[in-house]
Chain A
Amino acid sequence: AQSVTQLGSHVSVSEGALVLLRCNYSSSVPPYLFWYVQYPNQGLQLLLKYTTGATLVKGINGFEAEFKKSETSFHLTKPSAHMSDAAEYFCAVSAGSQGNLIFGKGTKLSVKP
């Protein structure tokens, strides 16, 4: 069975600072991993995904994540936070061949001016 743990339900950074959102997963098969962002009263938008190949994955809005099998981690980073990055971020793992996602509890990112 798959599961996802996001460390920190709320992260606050200053504008221009590094963003680091942590995600650890558990999977009995090679995982497909995803980060989604949700702005208030919106649906989920895909930031980036890891399927196979290169372990450093670049996404939209300057975000990237690195798949580390040995650490079962898929942390999301952005070198310099912008006010518009304030949102809730969800890490997810694909649960087998049918593609439904198992989500973490989410991390709400606040960006201080």
Chain B
Amino acid sequence: GAGVSQSPSNKVTEKGKDVELRCDPISGHTALYWYRQSLGQGLEFLIYFQGNSAPDKSGLPSDRFSAERTGGSVSTLTIQRTQQEDSAVYLCASSPRDSYTEAFFGQGTRLTVV
């Protein structure tokens, strides 16, 4: 596609439910990143993929959070047993190379846990 696509754009879920957030990066981009944007914490790095492997998961806030990437393309961020503090906008970005090149961001998924 023309840009990074994220779905759904909005998600409301009940506390304790599991959610899956999807990211379709720009075709050919090898690096993929997940970030979380919340009022109290600003923009936080969650996880980085190079191809299908995730060499850096250091930003995942708890073991309820996991992510995978398949075929070097689509990535899914899963949050199990959601809590109200998980409410945030989850942003995905992709890059043709890591380090200093531009990261292209999707429009995000706004997650609300009620």
Q: Which A residues fall within an 8 A CB radius of B?
A: 32, 36, 41-46, 49, 51, 90, 92, 94-106
Q: Verify B99–A32 contact, CB threshold 8 A.
A: yes
Docked Cα-Cα span, A92 to B99, in Å, equals 13
Set of chain A residues within 8 Å of B87, measured between Cβ atoms: none
Interface string of B76-114 (1 = CB under 8 A from A): 000000000000000101010111111111111000000
Given A96-B99, A97-B98, A102-B45; 9 other pairs, CB 8 A cutoff: A32-B99, A43-B106, A43-B107, A44-B91, A98-B31, A98-B48, A99-B31, A100-B48, A101-B33
Q: List 15 A-B contacts (CB under 8 A).
A: A42-B107, A43-B91, A43-B105, A44-B93, A49-B100, A49-B102, A98-B48, A98-B50, A98-B56, A98-B99, A99-B100, A100-B56, A102-B45, A103-B42, A103-B43
CB-nearest residue of chain A to B59: A100
B55 within 8 A of A: yes
Closest to B95 in A: A99
Q: State A102–B102 Cα separation when bound (angstroms).
A: 14
Task: For chain B, give the interface size range.
Answer: 20 to 34
Are B42's CB and A99's CB within 8 A?
no
Contacts of B48 in A (CB 8 A): 98-100
Among A42, A90, A94, contact of B100 (Cβ-Cβ < 8 Å): A94
